[in-house]
Chains A and B, each alone.
Chain A
Amino acid sequence: MLGRMEGDYDVVVVGGGPAGLAAAIGARDAGATRVLVVDREDEAGGILLQCIHAGFGLHYFKEELTGPEYAERFVARALDRDIDVVGSAYVSGAGLDSDGTRRVRVMREGHGIRTVRSRAMVLAMGCRERTRGALHIPGTRPAGVLTAGLAQRFVNVMGLLPGRRVAILGSGDIGLIMARRLTLEGCEVVGVFELMPFSNGLTRNVVQCLGDFGIPLHLSTTVVEIHGQDRVDKITVAPVGADLAPDLSRCREVACDTLLLSIGLVPENELSQGLGVELDVVTQGPRVSSTLETSLPGVFACGNVLHVHDLCDYVTEEALLAGRFAGELAGGVKRPRDNIRVVPGDNVRYCVPHTLAPGREHTIYLRSERPLRPAAIRVGDLVRRKLGFVTPAEMITFRIKPDVLDRFHGEALRIDLLGEPAGPHLAGAEP
């Protein structure tokens, strides 16, 4: 029920975005009767509410929905299952009781602080954007420098335009989508500048968001200075070499009043760290077992707080699973501990989960370090499969059948991506 929080719970989910809602549903469907979702915004749905473009749900609903539609369907499904959802609330900590249940401290607007007991917890806080400080861009500190997602909220929810003449640093999907969005709202988008020699966004976004509107994508180029007294009036950009260092002898100035940053996302793990959850230095999310359980027993993690996904549908899939395992644990299901460590090998930036157990099917999510074509995945000496093309912008989902690990007798399973380095051939991209 919306706004209800009373008694004790089987599962408490932190975060009411796509991950949290799906985790709650997964837990409920696995038999947990009392499930609570806590969200800090005044309504559930998370970042989906500002993602007004289509492209969600193709995997899960088999139809293409916008972000708000996807969110509304999930909120309705959660409420249909009698899941409690509270907004304007924070989970500010959780302690472990002697009987293994957790005491979760919930701080809620208008209600003060309350402690609820729960058998299991799911962390689903999502991620946030990297800001100018992460890159140390030199220059002045004028107004008009903001992250692409913040601009998205300004434009799509609050009805505020961040500027008129906009440059975008970083070719992540949010940046590409905002290039189109701002163009439709009457802004001039003067260009997208990407440090890497390839786009960090999905190809379809490069084509539909930039190509359609003649917005130039400058690969291997970065912003080296921001100018302006009170407001941005121009930026200096420079090409970068193979070592990614800017060549300052080939600088040029670009006039603009706004600089949007689309330079990556970081899982939001302050709560996890406060709880003492062990994090992976690469994903910056929790290290998890094959049941998506963190280093703290009974505390699970899923969605962008675990590792940054590129499609919402994958978040949903992972979160349903995390919720299911949390629900089963709350219902008393006990599983043997994982005994196989997953080790990222050649060309693999990271793998999630971090450990596996034989006898069950596993879904492994991994990301490559560079574009490869043709590419193949090698899992120890157990499996080798062709993948066609891989790029860091597209997460790889790989399923391991239950019987495969029965043939494995080691302690560490290494996963490699094999292939020739490749660049996506983007018509219209210029250096």
Chain B
Amino acid sequence: MSPVTTTLTCIACPIGCALRLTHEGRDIVELAGATCDRGAKYAAEELIDPRRQLSTTVAIEGARSARLPVKVTRPVPRDRVLEAVAAIHRLRVRAPVRAGEVLLEALLGEEGLAVVATRSLGRVGP
């Protein structure tokens, strides 16, 4: 495998260093542009297994608002964010619900990756 060079903007702090990353598969051969050690750590994670925190809303019935905010309990692979959102959006919830309540387990088939409510919503109306 021959080395490939890609560029990343480091997000470890507000400077936003432009990292030039040369790698062979998962091995970083050369890293340029980082002005501190955190750049190397960020680049390694971003290269091997980039993940993102994910929040969205799901439909809720019988509550004061139409949507219930939810989040995933740990970051999802960056390339599967849209797939994860599609699965979450299929959920239908009825009030009442408590913040932290698990609404879906094993998102994307990943053990320990759950979808939880991020607010409590009481039941209103019939």
> Hey, which bits of chain A sit against chain B, CB under 8 A?
42-43, 49, 52-54, 64, 66-69, 71-72, 155-159, 181, 184-185, 202-204, 206-208, 211-212, 373, 388-389, 391, 393-394, 424-428
Contact of B15 among A54, A156, A158, A424 (CB under 8 A): A424
**When the two chains form their complex, are residues A159 and B15 in contact, meaning their CB atoms are under 8 A apart?**
no
**When the two chains form their complex, are residues B78 and A72 in contact, meaning their CB atoms are under 8 A apart?**
no
Contact of A427 among B9, B65, B85, B119 (CB under 8 A): B9
Give chain B nearest CB distance to A45 CB in angstroms: 9
Contact count A vs B, C-beta below 8 Å? 95
Q: How far is the CA of A67 from the CA of B118 in the complex (A)?
A: 8
**When the two chains form their complex, are residues B99 and A157 in contact, meaning their CB atoms are under 8 A apart?**
no
Q: Of all chain A residues, which has the CB nearest B72?
A: A54
Q: Does B69 contact A (CB under 8 A)?
A: yes
- Given contacts A72-B99, A212-B81, whether A158 and B9 have CB atoms under 8 Å apart is no
- Given contacts A72-B99, A393-B14, whether A158 and B65 have CB atoms under 8 Å apart is yes
**When the two chains form their complex, are residues A68 and B67 in contact, meaning their CB atoms are under 8 A apart?**
no
The contact sample of 27 A-B pairs, CB cut-off 8 A, is A42-B64, A52-B55, A52-B69, A52-B71, A52-B118, A64-B53, A66-B71, A67-B69, A69-B99, A69-B118, A72-B120, A156-B57, A157-B66, A159-B65, A159-B66, A159-B67, A184-B81, A203-B13, A204-B11, A206-B9, A208-B52, A212-B81, A388-B15, A389-B14, A424-B14, A425-B17, A425-B18
Q: Does B7 contact A (CB under 8 A)?
A: yes
Looking at chain B, what size class is its interface with the partner chain?
Answer: 20 to 34
Enumerate the 6 nearest inter-chain pairs by beta-carbon distance, A residue then B residue, closest first: A159-B66, A68-B119, A203-B16, A52-B69, A425-B18, A204-B11
Chain B 53-91 against A: per-residue CB contact (8 Å), 1 yes, 0 no?
Answer: 101110100001111010100000010011001000000
Chain B residue numbers with a CB within 8 Å of A203 are: 9, 11, 13-16
Q: Of all chain B residues, which has the CB nearest A73?
A: B99
**When the two chains form their complex, are residues A211 and B55 in contact, meaning their CB atoms are under 8 A apart?**
no
**When the two chains form their complex, are residues B118 and A68 in contact, meaning their CB atoms are under 8 A apart?**
yes
Chain A residue numbers with a CB within 8 Å of B47 are: none
Q: Of all chain A residues, which has the CB nearest B70?
A: A52
**When the two chains form their complex, are residues B66 and A202 in contact, meaning their CB atoms are under 8 A apart?**
no
Q: Does B8 contact A (CB under 8 A)?
A: yes
Q: How far is the CA of A212 from the CA of B46 in the complex (A)?
A: 12
Chain A residue numbers with a CB within 8 Å of B15 are: 203, 373, 388-389, 424
Chain A residue numbers with a CB within 8 Å of B120 are: 72
Beyond A207-B11, A211-B9, 8 extra complex contacts between A and B, CB < 8 Å? A52-B57, A66-B55, A72-B99, A72-B119, A184-B81, A184-B85, A203-B16, A426-B9
**When the two chains form their complex, are residues A212 and B85 in contact, meaning their CB atoms are under 8 A apart?**
no
Q: How far is the CA of A49 from the CA of B57 in the complex (A)?
A: 12
Contact of A158 among B17, B56, B67 (CB under 8 A): B67
Chain B residue numbers with a CB within 8 Å of A43 are: 64
**When the two chains form their complex, are residues A156 and B82 in contact, meaning their CB atoms are under 8 A apart?**
no
Chain A residue numbers with a CB within 8 Å of B85 are: 184
Q: Of all chain A residues, which has the CB nearest B6?
A: A427
Chain A residue numbers with a CB within 8 Å of B82 are: 184
